[in-house]
Structure 1
Amino acid sequence: MNLYQNLGYLVLGSRLRRLSEAFLAEINRAYQNEGIDFDASWFPVFYLLSKNEALSIKELSEQIEVSHPAASQLITNLKNRKLVTSATCTDDGRRQLVTLTESGRELLATILPMWDAISTAMTELVESDELAKQLLPAITGLETAFRQANLAEVISQKLITDLKPTHHE
């Protein structure tokens, strides 16, 4: 076992980030290998816009579970690449509705087969290992547990109740 495996939950975030970065690097390399100018970080926005004609930045941020500023920054990046556009909503001037541009729709048509290939390749990879098969259900379980508990508060309570120093008289 390596250092990360030995330290258990103390390095859970680091392990998940390392796994995520390695996975996204491989996905981006697959896009590059096919000559497709697409970044895996754009996937949630492209996926949602493939299923919806237009969405507000607020709707996008809620559905991809990132802050409004983070979603706004991603949309700005995609606008600068002329892949999405935004327009003021006719019934609410405060809302910006985001849609794919013609270039964005062309890119979407190009990447749809990649999404199928990624899904199939990952399914085959995971099916070859019993522990790997449990990854997605385990992540779902952990996400649910985090939503149901205030981890920082639980840790504080552990310091107060479970780890209180005992005084010997």
Structure 2
Amino acid sequence: MNLYQRLGYLALGSRLRRLSEAFLSEITYAYQQEGIEFDAAWFPVFYLLSQNEALTIKELSEQTEVSHPAASQLITNLKQKGLVMATPGIDDARKQLITFTGKGRALLQQVLPVWDAIMLSMDEISRNQPGCDAMLPAITAFEQALQQHDLYNHISKNLNKQLTPADK
């Protein structure tokens, strides 16, 4: 058992970050080996736009569960690379509709087979390693638990339980 495993929930954030970094490193390497210039950080926007003709920054922000400024910054980056464009909304010109450019659609066609290969590979890996098949449901359950319970309040309450009246 390594340090992170021994520390349990104390190291949860570190373990998840390490796992995410290792996973994204492998995904980035796969894109590079295929000669595809694609940043894994673009995935949520590319995926959502592949499923929708156009989306506003607000819709992208809500569906990816990131702040509006973070979504806006990502869209600005993608616009600078010529992968997406923003056009005024039909009903409300203040709302910018984000769509793929021709270059963005071409890149999407390149990454779609990689996404399929990632899904197949992860299914194979998780199916052949005991416990892995429970990972995604467990992450979902944990996300829901953290949304339903204010972790700080739990920590504070438990800190107060530990203090004796003389300590206060």
Calculate the TM-score normalised by the size of structure 2.
0.95
2:96 alignment partner in structure 1: 96
Decide which moves more: 63-72 or 125-134: 125-134
The residue type paired with residue 112 of structure 1 is L
The residue type paired with residue 162 of structure 2 is L
Number of residue pairs aligned between Structure 1 and Structure 2: 166
The residue type paired with residue 152 of structure 2 is A
2:163 alignment partner in structure 1: 164
Once superposed, what is the RMSD of the aligned Cα atoms?
1.0
DSSP 3-state at the match of 2:37: coil
Task: Tell me the percent identity.
Answer: 61
Structure 2 residue runs without a partner (length 5+) = none
Structure 1 residue runs without a partner (length 5+) = none
CA distance in 2, matches of 1:108, 1:98: 15
Counterparts of residues 4-153 of structure 1 (less than 5 Å): 4-153=4-153
The residue type paired with residue 99 of structure 1 is T
Per-residue CA deviation, residues 130-169 of structure 1 (Å, 9 max, x unaligned), is 1211111110110110111111111111112x312265xx
Decide which moves more: 1-10 or 113-122: 1-10
Deviation at 1:3, TM superposition (A): 1.2
CA distance in 1, matches of 2:100, 2:93: 20
DSSP 3-state at the match of 2:86: strand
Deviation at 1:79, TM superposition (A): 0.6
CA distance in 2, matches of 1:94, 1:155: 43
